[in-house]
Structures are given as structure tokens and as C-alpha cells.
């Protein structure tokens, strides 16, 4: 791997590649690694001095700097349409334009020392299920050799002003002291029905155990009501296990109503993740040193296969061949022209229509900003649970205030994951939103419910007090030391030349599907890594003991 430093502009040799990728985010790194594994020559660039772009794990200072640089200025210059640069030996150079993807950035508090001991995810909270398709891709590609994971200790749900453990297995249900005997029986019976359906879907059970088609098409919340699950159990299944984003009880205001088929698939993924790896205590795992390790693992894999990496090297223009009506290369910030057959740009740049307009399959317009994700990063000195360090917390719709339309997810991580110094904790919160102001309001409510704000009294008195249920401790809520809140635009790649931003989901399933689709649009006849099932020996190596 190469790195261009200030005052040093290496000439890249060779100057012709099968694929040029700009940006080392997860999607771009997956595509680069898959292309390299298929025998393609790949040049992978990044304007930053680090890997990951929108998926990176950064120090608090670097995170603040990145957000400020990628947020709209008070008065962004608008020079209008850019004129093509002079023709090169490859084609006409069409300048790239920056895309501002973060807004409403607010940084509060003082970063504790040692500040360099923190690695903060830009697109958190995010975890992997043990049975996640992304885990399978890492195992069969070999990327798992470049990364280690630890398990998340458990999940909690915010119910009636308290944090309560999520009973996600038969054993956990009967150990849960907050559930009545009737609730335990009902939830156990429901999970048994789900397991029998999953087994029958796999061809191992009787057809009678399979949930029929009409039920699969109905809203999942209606299916749960038909099972006569009490409100608390229904809430746990919908938001803490199936991970629904929007208020499923209000279809008029719900952006996405989950059907039973999708709900059962989510439960199947969760159920099959429990016990898959010997060293994982539950369904979820998280990479040591932060989620920025994921794109780096695939970059290392691609480098082993022959891909060339150059950091601190932005692409300033795309080169358009008028005869073929297609992009045929990139111009680097150094002025060097690179010839290539395929180009993939990350979402930080607007890929402009060349002059004249090319074939529609090769052009890109500004991506739609119809939806957003509001994100919050927090640093505290104490845990949200007295006995646990790494916790996933779900705050369902309407659990904080009546107008809360979306679920808020929070992920607390401790120093055992090497993302913060000892005796500190990092907490990520996020919620999907259509309106940035409303998204920030949701995060503020979560912040007031989970933390004691500096300076004393919180803004929402009804959410202050002890968060823990069935605990003898009088421990107060963690004091918030530092926070960064911001709103990220959700963009989707509009053509072969553009990749999507991190989505608002907890896992990587949707992003992986988008990546595979993108790879096959670039290389229709190539395989996205080698097919095959990972061995048990490989599976044992995915987590650290």
C-alpha cells in the first residue's frame, strides 16, 4: 500500500487498471476485494490519511473535524455547472463536485484524557449477528483473518421508564424476574412456533408446522396480536428482536410496516445467531478497535490479491470518452491521468453528467436525500448497567414521549473492545427520520433518559432517576462527558459509478445486498467471492476468547 504525503506526489505505475475505486468505505472495499479476487487489476484511492471514510473509527478530534468538513457551510459557493477541463489522452475531464452529507453538527463537552485512547464510529450504532451474511462473506473470502470480534453482553429494552433485559432465548425467559409466569409461558410458546416454522422452511419439519401464506402477508404486529401476546412481549419481539424501525401500531404514520414474512426472517436470523460461535455469549458481535476495522480487513484482503492502495490521493475529475460515451478514467489531484475500464466513486462526490450527456447507464445525477439518520456519540465514565459493559439498548416508539415515531437504538461499548481507555464507555445512538429537527429531538430525549447531563438537572424530569429494574443498587445515571450529534443523509448509488452511504439499520444485511448488486452490475459474469460454506474451524476463529 502506498501513501502520498504533503509535498510528495508519487507517479502511479502502471497507469491503466481494470477498476479504479475512490473511497475506502465498506461498500467500496468489498467491491475492490471481490474484483481483486476475480483477477481484476484494482487501484484503490482515498483522499483521507485513514481507511473507512463514512465507516471509519476516529479519534474524537478527527471525528469532529470530519463532520465539520463534510457539513454545508453557512453560505456554500455555487459556481453553477462546471465546464469540462481540457481533453486528455484518455478523454474529456469532467470535474467532480463535493457532496455535503452531514448537517446539524453539535459537539459538546470536553474530551477526557487520554483522548487518543478513543476510537469512535462515524456510522454507529452497528453490530453483526453471528449468523449475519456479512460474517459468511468474511469467512469464505478470508477477510476474517484480518479482524477479531467480541460478543455483545446482552440487549435491554426501555420499558415504563426502566431498562430491562431482553429475554431472547428459552433460558433467558425463565431467568427473567421482570416477567410474570403467564408472560414467560406465552413468549416461550411463541418462540417455539417460530422455531417450528423455521425448521419447516428448511425442509426438516412437518408441513403443519409451517405458517401459511396469508399470515405471512399480514402486518407482523397483527400476527403477534393473533398470538395473544401481551403488550410488553409484543414490544420486545417487534423492536428488540425483529428490530422494526417505525411505530407498527400506527400504520398511517409508519414509513415501513413490517409484514410477518420479514418479521419471521428477522427472528430466524436472531435465533440462528445464538450459539453459533463458542466464544459469543449471545446473538451479536462487534469488531475489536471499532467498525472501521471491517473496511480495512477487506482492503488488506484486496492488497494481498494485488490491489494498489494510495491514501491522501483524491480524484479530481472523471475522464469521459465521447466516442464510446462512457467514463474511461480518472484524473488525480496530482494531475496524472489513469485509464480504467470501470470506476466506482464513494458518496462524498457528485458524479456529474459529462458534456455532452453520455449513455444513461453510465451517468449519475444527484442522489435523493429523501430520508436521513440522526446519530449521537457519547462518552461517559460509568456503564448504563452495573454488571455489563457491551450492551445493545432499544428505546421503542412512544417509550420516551407520545410523538416518538421511530425506534431509537443505543450501543454501549467498554474498554474491552479497545474503543476507549479503561473506566470509560462509548455510547452510540441513532434513529431514522425524514426531518432533521425531529431526528435531533428524538436523540435529545434519549440523551435525557439515559444520561445525567453536565451541570445538573436534565431537560426532561420524568426520565431522571434510576434506570435499572430489579436491582438493589442506587447508582445514578452515567454523567455525559462529551457528545457529538449530527444528521446523516441517506443516499443510494444512482448508477455503476456511485456507492451508497451507510444506512440506518443495526446490521449490515441491506448494505451487503446493495454491494453485491453493485458488483454484479460492474461485472455481470463474475462471482462475488468464492461460493461455499465456511468450515467449522473457520467459524471458531471469528471471535476472540
User: What pLDDT does 459 receive?
Assistant: 56
Mean pLDDT to the nearest integer, 158-182: 88
Q: Interior CA angle at 458 toward 456 and 459, to 5°?
A: 140
- Residue 75 pLDDT > 60, yes or no? no
Nearest to 124 by CA among 240, 257, 287: 287
Mean pLDDT to the nearest integer, 290-302: 98
- Residue 469 pLDDT > 70, yes or no? no
Q: Interior CA angle at 182 toward 178 and 188, to 5°?
A: 85
pLDDT digits (tens, 9 = 90+) for 1-21: 655 544 567 799 999 999 999
Nearest to 393 by CA among 182, 135, 166: 166
- Residue 334 pLDDT > 90, yes or no? yes
Residues 6+ apart with CB under 8 A from 456: none
In the 8-state DSSP scheme, what is residue 522?
Answer: H
For residue 297 the three cell numbers come to 480487513
Neighbouring-strand partners of residue 382:
none
Mean pLDDT to the nearest integer, 58-78: 83
The whole-angstrom separation of Cα 104 and Cα 299 is 32
Please provide residue 411's backbone torsions phi and psi, each rounded to the nearest 5 degrees. Answer: -125, 115
Percent of the chain with pLDDT over 90: 66
User: What pLDDT does 168 receive?
Assistant: 83
pLDDT digits (tens, 9 = 90+) for 185-214: 888 989 888 888 888 776 555 555 578 788
Please provide residue 320's backbone torsions phi and psi, each rounded to the nearest 5 degrees. Answer: -110, 125
pLDDT digits (tens, 9 = 90+) for 510-540: 999 999 999 999 999 999 997 654 444 444 4
More confident residue, 358 or 163: 163
The whole-angstrom separation of Cα 177 and Cα 207 is 36
Please provide residue 191's backbone torsions phi and psi, each rounded to the nearest 5 degrees. Answer: -65, -30
User: What pLDDT does 401 receive?
Assistant: 96
pLDDT digits (tens, 9 = 90+) for 207-241: 555 787 888 999 999 999 999 898 999 999 999 99
Nearest to 99 by CA among 500, 508, 516: 500
Q: Dmax of the chain from CA atoms?
A: 76
User: What pLDDT does 466 receive?
Assistant: 53
User: What pLDDT does 431 receive?
Assistant: 98
Q: Which of 74-78, 270-274, 279-283, 431-435 has the lowest mean pLDDT?
A: 74-78
Determine the 3-state secondary structure of 379 from DSSP: strand
User: What pLDDT does 212 receive?
Assistant: 78
Report the mean per-residue pLDDT for the chain: 86
**Domains of the chain as residue ranges with CATH:** 2-99+289-368+492-534 (3.50.50.60), 169-273 (1.10.405.10)
DSSP string, 194-206: HHHHHHHHTTSS-
pLDDT digits (tens, 9 = 90+) for 390-439: 999 999 999 999 999 999 999 999 999 999 999 999 999 999 999 999 99
More confident residue, 29 or 466: 29
Determine the 3-state secondary structure of 117 from DSSP: helix
Helical (H) or strand (E) element with 167:
none
**Cα 499 → chain centroid:** 14
- Residue 269 pLDDT > 50, yes or no? yes
The whole-angstrom separation of Cα 404 and Cα 399 is 7
Q: Residue 472: pLDDT band by 50, 70, 90 thresholds?
A: very low
Q: What is the crossing angle of helices 26-37 and 293-304, to 10°?
A: 20
Neighbouring-strand partners of residue 433:
372
User: What pLDDT does 358 receive?
Assistant: 43
Mean pLDDT to the nearest integer, 234-261: 94
Q: Interior CA angle at 117 toward 112 and 123, to 5°?
A: 95
Determine the 3-state secondary structure of 423 from DSSP: coil
In the 8-state DSSP scheme, what is residue 452?
Answer: B
pTM of the model: 0.89
Residue 463 to residues 268, 341, 454: CA-CA distances in angstroms?
A: 34, 57, 15
The whole-angstrom separation of Cα 368 and Cα 487 is 15
Q: Residue 175: pLDDT band by 50, 70, 90 thresholds?
A: confident
Q: Residue 139: pLDDT band by 50, 70, 90 thresholds?
A: very high
Mean pLDDT to the nearest integer, 137-156: 95
Please provide residue 102's backbone torsions phi and psi, each rounded to the nearest 5 degrees. Answer: -125, 140
206 torsion bin: left (phi>0), alpha (psi -120 to 50), beta (else): beta
Q: Which of 53-62, 370-379, 485-494 has the lowest mean pLDDT?
A: 485-494
User: What pLDDT does 496 receive?
Assistant: 52
Residue 75 to residues 72, 78, 313, 347, 389: CA-CA distances in angstroms?
A: 8, 9, 27, 21, 43
* Cβ–Cβ < 8 Å for 382, 478: yes
User: What pLDDT does 476 receive?
Assistant: 81
- Residue 262 pLDDT > 80, yes or no? yes
The whole-angstrom separation of Cα 382 and Cα 379 is 9
Residues 6+ apart with CB under 8 A from 383: 389, 391, 412, 414, 425, 478
Amino acid at each position: 500500500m502506498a501513501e502520498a504525503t504533503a509535498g510528495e506526489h508519487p507517479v502511479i505505475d502502471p497507469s491503466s487498471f481494470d477498476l479504479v475505486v475512490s473511497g475506502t468505505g465498506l461498500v467500496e472495499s468489498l467491491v475492490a476485494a471481490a474484483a481483486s479476487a476475480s483477477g481484476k487489476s484494482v487501484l484503490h484511492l482515498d483522499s483521507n490519511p485513514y481507511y473507512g471514510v463514512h465507516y471509519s473509527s476516529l479519534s474524537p478530534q478527527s471525528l469532529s473535524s470530519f463532520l465539520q468538513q463534510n457539513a454545508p457551510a453557512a453560505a456554500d459557493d455555487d459556481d453553477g455547472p462546471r465546464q469540462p477541463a481540457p481533453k486528455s489522452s484518455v478523454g474529456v475531464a469532467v470535474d467532480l463536485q463535493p457532496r455535503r452529507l452531514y448537517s446539524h453538527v453539535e459537539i459538546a463537552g470536553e474530551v477526557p484524557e487520554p483522548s487518543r485512547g478513543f476510537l469512535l464510529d462515524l456510522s454507529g450504532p452497528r453490530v453483526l449477528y453471528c449468523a449475519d451474511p456479512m460474517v459468511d462473506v468474511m469467512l469464505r473470502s478470508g477477510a476474517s483473518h484480518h479482524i477479531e470480534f467480541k460478543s455483545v453482553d446482552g440487549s435491554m429494552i426501555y420499558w415504563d421508564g426502566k431498562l430491562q433485559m431482553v429475554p431472547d432465548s428459552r433460558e433467558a425467559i425463565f431467568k427473567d424476574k421482570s416477567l410474570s409466569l403467564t408472560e414467560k409461558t406465552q413468549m416461550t410458546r411463541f418462540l417455539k412456533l417460530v422455531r417450528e416454522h423455521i425448521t419447516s422452511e428448511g425442509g426438516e419439519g412437518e408441513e403443519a408446522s409451517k405458517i401459511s401464506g396469508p399470515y405471512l402477508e399480514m402486518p407482523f404486529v397483527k400476527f403477534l396480536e393473533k398470538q395473544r401476546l401481551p403488550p410488553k412481549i409484543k414490544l420486545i419481539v417487534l423492536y428488540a428482536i425483529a428490530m422494526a424501525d417505525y411505530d407498527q401500531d400506527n400504520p398511517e404514520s409508519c414509513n415501513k410496516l413490517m409484514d410477518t414474512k420479514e418479521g419471521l426472517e428477522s427472528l430466524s436470523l436472531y435465533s440462528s445467531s445464538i450459539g453459533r460461535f463458542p466464544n459469543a455469549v449471545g446473538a451479536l458481535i462487534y469488531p475489536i478497535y471499532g467498525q472501521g476495522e471491517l473496511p480495512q480487513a477487506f482492503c488488506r484482503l484486496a492488497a494481498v490479491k494485488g490491489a494498489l492502495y494510495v491514501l491522501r490521493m483524491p480524484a479530481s475529475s472523471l475522464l469521459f470518452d465521447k466516442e464510446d460515451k462512457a467514463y474511461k478514467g480518472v484524473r488525480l489531484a496530482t494531475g496524472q491521468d489513469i485509464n480504467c475500464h470501470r470506476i466506482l466513486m464513494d458518496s462524498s462526490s457528485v458524479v456529474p453528467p459529462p458534456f455532452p450527456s453520455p449513455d444513461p447507464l453510465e451517468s449519475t445525477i444527484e442522489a435523493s436525500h429523501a430520508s436521513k439518520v440522526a446519530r449521537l456519540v457519547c462518552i461517559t465514565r460509568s456503564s448504563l448497567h452495573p454488571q455489563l459493559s457491551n450492551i445493545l439498548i432499544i428505546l421503542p416508539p412512544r417509550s420516551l414521549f407520545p410523538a416518538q415515531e421511530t425506534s431509537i437504538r443505543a450501543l454501549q461499548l467498554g474498554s474491552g473492545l479497545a474503543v476507549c481507555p479503561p473506566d470509560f464507555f462509548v455510547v452510540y445512538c441513532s434513529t431514522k427520520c425524514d426531518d432533521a429537527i425531529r431526528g435531533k429531538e428524538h436523540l435529545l430525549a434519549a440523551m435525557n433518559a439515559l444520561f445525567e447531563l453536565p451541570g445538573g438537572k436534565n431537560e426532561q424530569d420524568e426520565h431522571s432517576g434510576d434506570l435499572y429494574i430489579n436491582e438493589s443498587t442506587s447508582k445514578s445515571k452515567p454523567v455525559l462527558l462529551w457528545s457529538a450529534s449530527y444528521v446523516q443523509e441517506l443516499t443510494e448509488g444512482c448508477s455503476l459509478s456511485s456507492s451508497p452511504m451507510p444506512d440506518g439499520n443495526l446490521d449490515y444485511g441491506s448494505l451487503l445486498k446493495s454491494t453485491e448488486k453493485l458488483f454484479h452490475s460492474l461485472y455481470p459474469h463474475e462471482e462475488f467471492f468464492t461460493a461455499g460454506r465456511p468450515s467449522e474451524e473457520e467459524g471458531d476463529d471469528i471471535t476472540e476468547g
